[in-house]
Amino acid sequence: MIELGVLGLVLAGGLARRMGGGDKPMTTIGTQSIITRVLERLTPQCQSMVINANGDPTRFAFTHLPVVPDDVPDFAGPLAGILAGLDWAAKHAPDVDTVASVPGDCPFLPRDLVVRLDAARRKEGKPMACARSGEWRHPVVALWPVALRADLRHALVVEDLRKIEIWTARHGIAIADWPDTPVDPFFNVNTPEDAQRARDLAARYPDA
């Protein structure tokens, strides 16, 4: 179900140190790269899509999506990628009021992610919402109002703030829960061992 007014943002700008560098989203799970799995799941839920990544954008040319780099220097972390998505929405998609962000290394994302996050924030009366599976909160699997982009830029550039939870606590954030078994929908691939585990899970639970 497409959520009008929502821009999907795939965060693919990390340094992937534990994977030996390179792009974690390009890791293959079965016959598909992780980013292909992410896009197949998130695209039907959003009005439009962009990728946040630094470096050569042509490596994502096969997705046919805009690639938006951070404009906060020195790899300021996921908040910089979220800000890039908010700024892109404000400039290029004036009918978008919300950005839905996901990591580019999560091969099992829920197909009802956006609608459930939106329901959580509406129920709790909060401007933002993030996902939780089991006991683990996933701060970058979240909905972000475009209206807060100036405040986020101030936090990043002026305050040098890097921790997501500190910034979201200022404005209020709802939580949407998912079970973490038999497959955690927010399992992310950080190491070669994680990649192998993801392949094993995908083979065992093909519908996950």
Q: Which two tokens stand for residue 126?
A: 């909060």
Residue type at 117 in one-letter notation? L
What is the distance of C-alpha 176 from the center of its chain?
15
Q: How many residues does the chain have?
A: 208
Domains in the chain: how many in total? 1
Largest CA distance in the chain: 48
CATH assignment of the domain containing 32: 3.90.550.10
Q: Which two tokens stand for residue 37?
A: 């799995």
Sequence-ordered list of residues with C-beta below 8 angstroms from that of 140, at least 6 positions apart, any chain? 11, 78, 82, 101, 102, 103, 130, 164
The residue segments making up the domain with residue 20 are: 3-204
Q: What is the pLDDT along the chain (208 residues), one digit of tens a residue?
A: 677 799 999 999 755 444 445 678 999 998 999 999 999 999 999 999 999 999 899 999 999 999 999 998 877 789 999 999 999 999 999 999 999 999 999 999 999 999 999 999 999 999 999 999 999 999 999 999 999 999 999 999 999 999 999 999 999 999 999 999 999 999 999 999 999 999 999 999 999 9
pTM exceeds 0.75, yes or no: yes
Name the residue among 161, 193, 174, 47 with its Cα closest to residue 123.
Answer: 174
